[in-house]
Amino acid sequence: MFIFVSKRFVRIFIVIFIISVVFLALQNINWLLRVVYPFHYRDIIETYAEEYNVDPYLMVSIMRNESKFNPNAISRRDAKGLMQIAPITGGWAAEKLNIEDYREDMLYDPDLNIRIGAWYLNILHREFDDRLQLIIAAYNAGNGNVSKWLQNPEYSQDGETLDVIPFGETRIYSQKVMRDYEIYKRIYK
């Protein structure tokens, strides 16, 4: 037995279905955003963010862009772990933080990697007077490069902010981290 369904009924059903899906999505947008923007390693991040007076949302935004939360990540420049700590930064941090028997492969340990990342971000915060744009650029390109750019009128007219970030990779990285930082603040606060 065939049931005759009019085209009008089908259209009404589709409209109701779409409205229902949109309504459910809007009701669960925060859940959906948390799936797309997870806060992995939250306990460790919050511990070291508090210890080193660094914004945890900045840390997770950097981590998302640096390693995509892969503790075994390694860059083409040999930076390692979640926060992509360069070997030279890891050695310097180990000395300053009195980390005994430090070895470079320890940078794959999430706790140590996040601790060093928070420590280094604290240094950048102090060096660049809490100016987020400069801190993020320095995390990627190095504080020496950012300091040089600030002194060059081609890149900074006021010596306080960067009008132009000359490294394309750093420019794109900075935009992504800032975007993610705003999203993390909005969905997790």
- Nearest alpha carbon to residue 131 among 158, 168, 162: 162
Of 66, 127, 160, 169, catalytic: 66
User: Which amino acid type is present at position 162?
Assistant: L
CA distance 91 to 27: 48
Give me the sign of the Cα torsion angle 77, 185, 42, 116.
positive
Catalytic residue check, 100: no
DSSP state of 107: G
172: number of Cβ within 10 Å: 13
Residues catalogued as catalytic: 66
